[in-house]
Amino acid sequence: MRDSRLEIRIGGTGGQGLILCAKMLADALAAAGKRVAQSQTYEPTSRGGYCNSDLIVSEGEVDFPLATALDCLVLLDRMAVKPSWPLLKPDALVLADTRLCPELPEGNRDVKYRVHHLPLTRSAIELGSERVANIVALGALAAISGMCERKALERAVRADTPKSFLDLNLDALAAGYRLGEQEPALAATAP
């Protein structure tokens, strides 16, 4: 049913691991008994072009499986702003990267949406690879939204990470949680 429906978009550019990020989150939510449907932009463009990965979460089987009104939006690149902003629900949670997405549409920012500007890619670079910005974002999103259990998310990250990247990904997840936990709560209502 629509009441329990939660819509999440991870937006950025191709190659940032947007689909992987959504898959890990989907696994963590599924472990808690939620039903999920994950989809993505599918275009001849990949690296460098606009991409998003969407996740619809529901208590029962997800009916319409694509995004119609976003509860949560993660912006890992400015290219994702224009196609995603019109889909935001009032009071939606927005996480934007300070470095690659410094500007957000003016006017209703901080008013209509709960916007957190976070150094996601910078944290990833400090950890040694910008490639794990998606995992930093995952940690920050989970910390701020409280939508899934940290343990379940860690399990999902472990399950979907090659051995050689495991330590880096777990560090990235922890860094994301730290960023998220430092943020003030912007509104009383959970997404």
Instruction: Spell out, one character per residue from 3 to 42, where the chain touches another protein: x when CB under 8 A holds, - when not.
Output: --------------------x--xx--x--x-xxxxxx-x
* 86 lines the binding site for another protein (CB under 8 A): no
Residues in region 117-136 near another protein by CB under 8 A: none
Produce one character per residue of 138-148: b if its CB has 16 or more CB atoms within 10 Å, e if not: bbbbbbbbebb
Supply the minimum distance, in Å, between the C-beta of residue 64 and another protein: 4
Closer residue to another protein (CB): 23 or 131: 23
Tokens standing for residue 89: 């629900």
* 108 lines the binding site for another protein (CB under 8 A): no
Supply the minimum distance, in Å, between the C-beta of residue 182 and another protein: 31
Closer residue to another protein (CB): 24 or 124: 24
Q: Which of 49, 65, 83, 102 binds another protein (CB under 8 A)?
A: 65
* 89 lines the binding site for another protein (CB under 8 A): no
Give, as one character, the DSSP assignment of residue 32: T
Dihedral sign, Cα of residue 157, residue 31, residue 185, residue 89: positive
* 102 lines the binding site for another protein (CB under 8 A): no
Which of these, 63, 143, 75, lies nearest to 109 by C-alpha position?
Answer: 75
CA–CA separation, 37 and 28 (whole Å): 13
Give, as one character, the DSSP assignment of residue 184: P
Q: Which of 62, 73, 81, 137 binds another protein (CB under 8 A)?
A: 62
Q: Which of 4, 68, 129, 182 binds another protein (CB under 8 A)?
A: 68
Torsion, Cα of 128, 26, 91, 60 (10° steps): -170
Torsion, Cα of 134, 135, 137, 143 (10° steps): 160
Binding site for another protein (CB under 8 A): 1-2, 23, 26-27, 30, 33, 35-40, 42-44, 60-66, 68
